[in-house]
Amino acid sequence: MSLRVLLADDEHLIRGALAALLALEDDLVVVAEAATGPEALAMARAHRPDVAVLDLEMPGADGVSVATSLRDELPNCRTMIVTSHGRPGHLKRALAVGVRGFVPKTVSAQRLAEIIRTVYAGNRYVDPELAADAISAGDSPLTAREAEVLELAADGAPVAEIAERAALSQGTVRNYLSSAVTKTGAENRHAAVRLARERGWV
């Protein structure tokens, strides 16, 4: 029996190379490929893979959001994340929603195939280096709302625009931003965004 795999990555070259290499494995078959979060969900619904290998950062929805939806809609589909940015906050979020594997994109195709089998068998695999980084970074001091507002401020959006997107008053947005800046120890909100991202808090 072949193990059915969905590959989701917005970098076509990487996705194509992975699909070709995994196809060399006797017991694996790539049943679908996707370039965006919404496409990954649609493909998963259509093809019902055993394991979904999701890029952490994709247009439309990130890998953790896709994994959350798959957990609810297709509970028999195991999920794993591949990433070039092993930020600690992402790992914690991923594990919290039931992701079974978390690996860097530097992993070899042969090793990835082994990890896919491990995940399918109901076991968990987290890259040791990524796990060590997550442990050393500590927990986020930000509340969910502060993290959300800080994320919306990341592209330099004015307070009025952030307020509209978050459905909050401008005063509330200012308060959240001020609190986030204080908690991160940054000199301004732009530095707070950068620092929070480095530590995987947003």
pLDDT tens sequence across 99-123: 999 999 889 989 999 999 999 999 9
One domain for residues 148 and 107: no
Task: Calculate the dihedral angle through the C-alpha atoms of 198, 40, 60, 183, rounding to the nearest 10 degrees.
Answer: -30
Distance of CA 28 to CAs 8, 20, 50, 119, Å? Answer: 16, 11, 10, 13
pLDDT of residue 57: 87
pLDDT of residue 86: 64
Q: Which of 97, 22, 31 is nearest to 66 (CA)?
A: 97
Structure token pair of residue 119: 């995940």
Domain's final residue, options 118, 136, 154? 136
One domain for residues 120 and 91: yes
Domain extent, residue 176, equals: 144-198
One domain for residues 154 and 69: no
Which DSSP letter does residue 199 get?
T
Q: Which of 34-48, 83-97, 108-122 has the lowest mean pLDDT?
A: 83-97
| Unique residue bearing structure tokens 């990433």 | 83
One domain for residues 26 and 106: yes
CATH number of the domain bearing residue 184: 1.10.10.10
Q: Which of 47-56, 126-135, 181-190 has the lowest mean pLDDT?
A: 126-135
One domain for residues 108 and 193: no
**Percentage of residues in the chain with pLDDT exceeding 90?**
58
Q: What is the DSSP string of 96-150?
A: HTT--EEEETTS-HHHHHHHHHHHHTT--EE-HHHHHHHHHH----S-HHHHHHH
Q: How many domains does the chain have?
A: 2
How many Cα atoms within 13 Å fall on the side-chain side of residue 111?
Answer: 12
One domain for residues 115 and 54: yes
pTM for the structure as a whole: 0.73
One domain for residues 185 and 126: no
Domain's final residue, options 136, 158, 177? 136
One domain for residues 118 and 183: no
One domain for residues 36 and 109: yes
pLDDT of residue 16: 92
